[in-house]
Structure 1
Amino acid sequence: MSIADTLFQLAPSPGLLLLIVTAIALVESLALVGLLVPGVVLMTAAASLAGHQAMSLYPLLVAAFLGAMLGDGLSFLLGYTQRERVTTLWPLSRHPEWLARGARFFQRHGALSVLLGRFVGPVRPVVPLIAGMMRMSPRTFAWANLVSAILWAPAYVLPGYLLGRTWQKLLAVPEELEPWLIGLGGLVVVLAVVFSWVRHQMTREGGVYRRLAWLSRRSPMGRRLWRLLAPAHVDEPPLASWLLLIVSLGAFSAWTLVVIHHDGPLAMDTQLAGLLQTVTRPGLVAVGQALARAGDLLGVLALVLPWAIWLLWRRQLAVVRHLGAGLLGIALLNTLFKSAIGRVRPDTPAYLADSFSYPSAHTSTAVVLFGMAATFVSRELPPGRRSLAYWAAIAVILPMALSRLVIGVHWLSDLVGGTLLGLVVCALVQLAWQRHPRPSLRPCPWHVLGVASLVLVAARIIWFAPV
């Protein structure tokens, strides 16, 4: 049974799916709750299931329209009738800046804010609430709500619906690879959820943080350790960074011992390598070769060069030092572990004749480069959008790592070791960065720098041989 057939069997009935779409649209537009729900992801998933079942598009659009109308209407009613109590309700009581941001948006755009706000993520569920608190005319709000819902429903439903209609073609992969793809997808989702949960627990609002802070105050040694771990300019230690260092270092050490103990490829390595040899296509190998060139020394230099020049021009020397230290550190560690362990590659091209397999240098370097970039970028984003930087980093790192399997120069366990080693270096660089207060990187012409990096990487892929 294919993945598409499995998803079809697990999908709810058309009637239930319409109710789910209505509920997602309602909750995503609802004040308070909508701030915490990933509505775009849920709506895309539900619309994709509807498209895969070849459901009629019009009932789906009507369901999304009704849910969006009802959600904004209830939010407006809440603000209109509970004006004095809104600021005491969770989560707005913990995040008053959300209301302040919505109020500024409403004051700037007036009645149009209800129409525009539905498409602006940070203020989407708050604007109708603000409109009610500001005593906006119910008739004016009703018209704005109607028009915005008519525009919103197709904008949010159509991409997922069209994706669902093409699932069968997109998921037409050999059956032997389906368990690996399902496992990889599940692992990425689980790790992302765990990472988000742990990251929240390590903030001042998290339960783990509060318990550790309480324990540290119970003894003089605990207070000294708390102050030792904390940077000089703040009172709290960066627990998330320390936890990342401890977990990744422990996991890398344990995984390396497993690799050394087997003295050769693991069972999962040989099984996956055999499958890839039977199903790999020329186009996929060409993509893997291109990613291999993008991730080698010349490719990394091409990626970093425009940003390094801009940072030097802006006198952001601390960023350049930390970025350079991270890349140099991972290069030295890769060389050290490859020489010490001496694991043979599954296939050794001429340009890799003097290089061993474990850990994957491409993977570890990508984790360090894009992990550090995500860290720097996330500092410039609002708290609710910082996870987007890390998701973008994962979207780049994952195909670059998997390309090493496609072209046959690494085992799967090499990629695992490279990822863990890269996380160790990321944690060390982040801890060093957090020791002192840092200025903002804004304003940054990231569009121009991004295009420049892509042009240089494309030139490197086309004109230079792999190194």
Structure 2
Amino acid sequence: MQSFLENIVTLLPGGGLYYLLIGTIALLESIVLVGLLVPGSTLILLVGFLAAHGKGDVTTIAISAFTGALIGDMCSYVLGCRFGTRLLHSNLFRKRLGLIRKAELFFARHGGKSLFLGRFAGPLRGSIPFVAGCSGMRPGAFFNNTLLSCILWGIVYPGLGYLGAASWQKVQQLTGQFSLLLATLVVLFILNSLFWKKLFPRIVKRSQSLWLRLTVAWLSFLHRPGITALSKRFPRLWTFAADRFSLKKGSGLYLTCGFAFSTLFSGLFFWLLNSFELVSRVDQKIYTLLGQLHHPLADRLMLLASSLANLPALLIICGLLLLWLVLNNRDFSAAILLVGMGGGELLVLLGKLLFYRLRPEPFFAQLQSTSASFPSGHAFSSLLFVGLLAYYLFGALRYWQSRLLMIILLSFFALVVGLSRCYLGVHWFSDIVAGYLLAATWLTFLLTTLEVRRRFIGEFPWRSGWQPLQLSARQRYAIMALASGVALYAMSYYLLLQLGLL
């Protein structure tokens, strides 16, 4: 490997010519269409890799890459401003019209942010500045947005190559058990993503189709002579039953669906309890399997994931979310967060007392616990919190791609927390599943309450439109920025304590 690198280094120029070459590569990759022929990002990564082996100074490399990228973006912008219409009708651009259209849609969707995002979006890297110029974006706004993206790109790409080379020997040592754990996490992430991207939309579509057929069958059933006579004979009972499927009342279909899902999840929870023999065999096999995956770095990673769902960490995160809700005068949502998380902890405590089950022998002595194992409080709290967080943020995100990404990441976090508890040996696998099912039951109840409140605000004894805090957007942002800084410091300090680094 070392001799191969030495052969590459001898072929490259030295001194200022080397840095000029780096800047030229970054410049060419940033020019519309030309960048498709120049693998600039890959080459800049390689340059960072070589810097760790003595070829050039990594700081000067970053400055050269940033300068070239900025000049390239500005060239593409000027081309769009001055010659955009003429170039779009040329034969060269017609062959790549699909790429230009994608860049136009991306720019229309994200505005000035697209210059930052597009810098890290591969083929769109040179097209976005060109489209910005064609659309008549002001030079000052363009420069401000592209400057930040070029600075970050100039630091990140050489830096990744440099860090990758510096840790080359360490990477070779992290094979075996750690590789298996990484593979498990990758597979878990892929399966989770496929569920939300592919399977869940199909389930929703099938459910809508099934609901339509049931509605038609129900209406046909209601018009039968015998049913009509029954409704006239028992009008109050009939009205009560019909109201449970009404979309005009908060106590109608939404409440019925919430009750149905709560019943489903609670039914699965009690089925798990009644399948103790089968579950015990599965638990033991998974416990034995995970015991073979241990590696010092993997242990730290899983301990970190588990610590994020500890009570102090949850209090920090929930406090920040609560402040955001209060500042935005979402008083009912704030109340649900308090009741939901607090009531959830009591629900888990009650479950541990009722279904007392001994924990497995933990793989680390410092994690020994005297509390019951079933259900897992960490699994419960992580799923409950990310479910409420996703609901609160869903309306704040405008685009469905952002919403989908949020759901994928939050659900993956909850899954990793559950995996970490099994990996550390402090819970059986069935404890984790039970925690998720219990959380899903409680979460369904809370989300149903929130949704009914949102759609039928007049049906609840809660003051409508109450806004105790009259703050400007700038004041809210300032308070949230300060609180986020404090929360980040507190969370970092706590996690470092948990990892034994303080």
Among 297, 305, 318, the alignment partner of 2:319 is 305
**Do the aligned residues in 2 keep the contact of 1:367 with 1:397 (CA within 8 Å)?**
yes
Q: In structure 2, what is the Cα distance between the partners aligned to 1:185 and 1:168?
A: 23
Q: 1:263 to 1:217 in 2, by over 3 A?
A: closer
Q: What is the CA deviation profile of residues 73-103 of structure 1, one whole-angstrom value per residue up to 9, with x for unaligned ones?
A: 99x7799569xxxxxx9xx9xx99984765x
Q: In structure 1, what is the Cα distance between the partners aligned to 2:346 and 2:303?
A: 24
Equivalent residues in 2 for 1:81-92, closer than 5 Å: none
1:453 CA displacement: 2.7
SS in 2 for 1:321: helix
Counterpart of 1:195 in structure 2 is 196
Counterpart of 1:421 in structure 2 is 438
Counterpart amino acid of residue 228 in structure 1: F
Q: In structure 2, what is the Cα distance between the partners aligned to 1:341 and 1:431?
A: 27
Counterpart of 2:404 in structure 1 is 387
**Do the aligned residues in 2 keep the contact of 1:295 with 1:362 (CA within 8 Å)?**
yes
SS in 2 for 1:435: helix
Indicate yes or no: 2:428 matched with 1:411.
yes
**Do the aligned residues in 2 keep the contact of 1:362 with 1:401 (CA within 8 Å)?**
yes
Give the TM-score normalised by structure 1: 0.57
SS in 2 for 1:189: helix
Q: In structure 1, what is the Cα distance between the partners aligned to 2:277 and 2:317?
A: 34
Counterpart of 2:170 in structure 1 is 169
Counterpart of 1:375 in structure 2 is 391
**Do the aligned residues in 1 keep the contact of 2:114 with 2:128 (CA within 8 Å)?**
no
Counterpart of 2:352 in structure 1 is 338
SS in 1 for 2:191: helix
Q: 1:191 to 1:399 in 2, by over 3 A?
A: closer
Counterpart of 1:357 in structure 2 is 373
1:326 CA displacement: 2.3
Counterpart amino acid of residue 213 in structure 2: L
Counterpart amino acid of residue 326 in structure 1: G
**After alignment, is 327-336 or 208-217 more displaced?**
208-217
Answer with 1 or 2: which has the greater Rg. 2
Among 274, 283, 291, the alignment partner of 1:266 is 283
Q: In structure 2, what is the Cα distance between the partners aligned to 1:458 and 1:115?
A: 31
1:215 CA displacement: 3.1
Structure 1 gap ranges (5+): 1-24, 31-42, 83-88, 106-112, 137-145
Q: 1:218 to 1:336 in 2, by over 3 A?
A: same
Among 466, 481, 486, the alignment partner of 1:447 is 481
**Do the aligned residues in 2 keep the contact of 1:78 with 1:129 (CA within 8 Å)?**
no
State the identity %.
Answer: 17
**Do the aligned residues in 1 keep the contact of 2:115 with 2:128 (CA within 8 Å)?**
no
Indicate yes or no: 2:292 matched with 1:275.
yes
Q: In structure 2, what is the Cα distance between the partners aligned to 1:315 and 1:133?
A: 38
1:344 CA displacement: 1.7
SS in 2 for 1:295: coil
Structure 2 gap ranges (5+): 1-28, 34-39, 56-60, 91-97, 138-145, 223-241, 456-464
SS in 1 for 2:454: coil
Equivalent residues in 2 for 1:30-429, closer than 5 Å: 80=88, 99=108, 102=111, 118-119=118-119, 132=134, 158=158, 165=165, 169-170=170-171, 172-173=173-174, 175-176=176-177, 178-198=179-199, 200-201=201-202, 207-208=205-206, 211-212=209-210, 214-215=212-213, 218-221=216-219, 228=245, 232=249, 252=269, 255-259=272-276, 261-263=278-280, 266-275=283-292, 279-281=294-296, 295-308=309-322, 311-312=325-326, 315-347=329-361, 354-383=370-399, 384-394=401-411, 396-397=413-414, 400-405=417-422, 407-429=424-446
**Do the aligned residues in 2 keep the contact of 1:245 with 1:428 (CA within 8 Å)?**
yes
Q: In structure 2, what is the Cα distance between the partners aligned to 1:51 and 1:431?
A: 54
**After alignment, is 214-223 or 174-183 more displaced?**
214-223
SS in 1 for 2:196: helix
**After alignment, is 172-181 or 381-390 more displaced?**
172-181
Q: In structure 2, what is the Cα distance between the partners aligned to 1:149 and 1:320?
A: 36
Aligned length: 393
**Do the aligned residues in 1 keep the contact of 2:181 with 2:298 (CA within 8 Å)?**
no
**Do the aligned residues in 1 keep the contact of 2:261 with 2:441 (CA within 8 Å)?**
yes
Q: In structure 2, what is the Cα distance between the partners aligned to 1:186 and 1:78?
A: 48
Q: What is the CA deviation profile of residues 104-138 of structure 1, one whole-angstrom value per residue up to 9, with x for unaligned ones?
A: x5xxxxxxx996684498x987775576577x9xx
Counterpart of 2:5 in structure 1 is none
Q: In structure 1, what is the Cα distance between the partners aligned to 2:211 and 2:408?
A: 30
Counterpart amino acid of residue 433 in structure 1: L
**Do the aligned residues in 2 keep the contact of 1:346 with 1:408 (CA within 8 Å)?**
yes
Counterpart of 2:12 in structure 1 is none
1:250 CA displacement: 6.5
**Do the aligned residues in 1 keep the contact of 2:49 with 2:161 (CA within 8 Å)?**
no
1:380 CA displacement: 0.8
1:367 CA displacement: 1.8
SS in 2 for 1:436: helix
Counterpart amino acid of residue 444 in structure 2: A
1:154 CA displacement: 5.8
SS in 1 for 2:453: coil
**Do the aligned residues in 1 keep the contact of 2:107 with 2:132 (CA within 8 Å)?**
no
Q: 1:413 to 1:448 in 2, by over 3 A?
A: farther
**Do the aligned residues in 2 keep the contact of 1:269 with 1:413 (CA within 8 Å)?**
no
1:268 CA displacement: 2.7
Q: In structure 1, what is the Cα distance between the partners aligned to 2:187 and 2:291?
A: 22
**Do the aligned residues in 1 keep the contact of 2:383 with 2:440 (CA within 8 Å)?**
yes
Counterpart amino acid of residue 291 in structure 2: G
Equivalent residues in 2 for 1:430-445, closer than 5 Å: 430-437=447-454, 443=476, 445=479
Q: 1:268 to 1:381 in 2, by over 3 A?
A: same
Q: In structure 1, what is the Cα distance between the partners aligned to 2:43 and 2:386?
A: 31
SS in 2 for 1:355: coil
